[in-house]
Amino acid sequence: MLPYVNSLPPGQLIREARRRAGMSEVELGRRAGVTQSVVSAYESGARQPSMPVLERLVRAAGSELDVSLRDVETSASKRSGPLARRVFQHREKIRDVVARHGLSNPRVFGSVARGEDAVDSDLD
């Protein structure tokens, strides 16, 4: 089993499994039923494999993919401060204002994003 599975992108997992097995991209592709160019595209990050394909490639290299589900702190759980609650409550209005200025996908930083905002906090 490869270590640090949850910290590596799929392409790096494939490359690491292949290198540990001492295989070329051609050999891994042949064993997994894909072409060398597909293996290369996955490893470079140009394409993203589906979970079944990722599992097949890793297994073809003689390793096993171990996927687990863990509870993590989500952005929703960080909406504890007064400003964070207001930002969440008015998020559609904020998006509209941002869009009117030709922008999209606004982000919140600093104390609000960390869930540490207070009454006197500003919005970053």
* Domain assignment of residue 68, yes or no: no
Q: Answer yes or no: are the C-beta atoms of 13 and 45 closer than 8 Å.
A: no
* pLDDT-based confidence at residue 5 (cuts at 50, 70, 90): very low
| pLDDT score, position 77 | 52
- The dihedral over CA atoms of 7, 66, 11, 49, expressed in degrees to the nearest 10, equals -130
Query: What HEC string does the chain produce?
Result: CCCCHHHCCHHHHHHHHHHHCCCCHHHHHHHHCCCHHHHHHHHHCCCCCCHHHHHHHHHHCCCCCCCCCCCCCCCHHHCCCHHHHHHHHCHHHHHHHHHHCCCCCCCCCHHHHHCCCCCCCCCC
* Domain assignment of residue 66, yes or no: no
| pLDDT score, position 4 | 46
List the domain range (segments joined by +) for residue 93: 76-114
* Domain assignment of residue 36, yes or no: yes
The tally of domains found in the chain comes to 2
CATH number at residue 16: 1.10.260.40
* pLDDT-based confidence at residue 35 (cuts at 50, 70, 90): very high
Let me know whether 46 and 83 are in one domain.
no
CA dist 17 and 97 (Å) reads 47
> Which has more confidence, 23 or 98?
23
CA 61 to centroid of chain Cα atoms: 23
CA dist 6 and 39 (Å) reads 20
Let me know whether 82 and 35 are in one domain.
no
